[in-house]
């Protein structure tokens, strides 16, 4: 079954102070912590959000506030996805483990699909996270295109549904 694509796009401004999600599968948490410590100064200028134990471990390691959500398998990935659709997230740093099957793989795939749909910059490992966080756009406003969700809904509402 094919799904209709949003028919129009709109502009969105990512603010200079970004809302950054930090997520890591169990086998990648140490790598994410090491990466976050290297980028402590930059991360301290942004709002950090994380899932499960990743949020608490990053907060403890960096001494920075990290808004904690549920663990990924308990719905944290879906919470991050909801933030994306509500334009409540600006960057996604997700160190996922390609060698370890996850019981919540469908949630991970859905999260990455939403990030692609809503044009959210995503890093999946230390090298891509380095490139993303060192970009000049990380610390300044950035104009981007996103789907026009309102137009997408109105394009699909039949006349009898409008009454």
Tokens representing 72? 């990924």
Contacts of 90 (CB under 8 A, 6+ apart): 14, 15, 18, 19, 20, 120, 121
141 carries an active-site annotation: no
Active-site residue (options: 26, 77, 148, 161): 77
Rounded Cα–Cα distance for residues 74 and 77 (Å): 8
Coil, strand or helix at 71: coil
Coil, strand or helix at 40: helix
Straight-line distance from the first to the last Cα atom of the chain, in angstroms, rounded to the nearest whole number: 28
Residues with a known catalytic role = 77
């Amino acid at each position: 079954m094919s799904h209709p694509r949003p028919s129009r796009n709109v502009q969105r401004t990512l603010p200079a102070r970004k809302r950054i999600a930090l997520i890591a599968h169990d086998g990648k948490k140490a790598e994410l912590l090491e990466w976050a410590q290297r980028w402590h100064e930059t991360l301290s200028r942004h709002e950090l959000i994380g899932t499960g134990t990743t949020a608490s471990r990053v907060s403890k390691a960096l001494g920075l506030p990290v808004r904690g959500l549920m663990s990924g398998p308990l719905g944290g990935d879906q919470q991050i996805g909801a933030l994306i659709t509500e334009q409540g997230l600006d960057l996604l740093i997700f160190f996922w483990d390609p060698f370890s099957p996850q019981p919540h793989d469908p949630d991970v795939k859905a999260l990455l699909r939403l990030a692609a749909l809503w044009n959210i910059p995503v890093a999946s490992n230390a090298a891509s996270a380095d490139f993303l966080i060192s970009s000049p756009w990380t610390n300044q406003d950035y104009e981007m295109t996103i789907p026009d969700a309102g137009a997408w809904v109105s394009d699909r509402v039949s006349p009898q549904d409008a009454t």
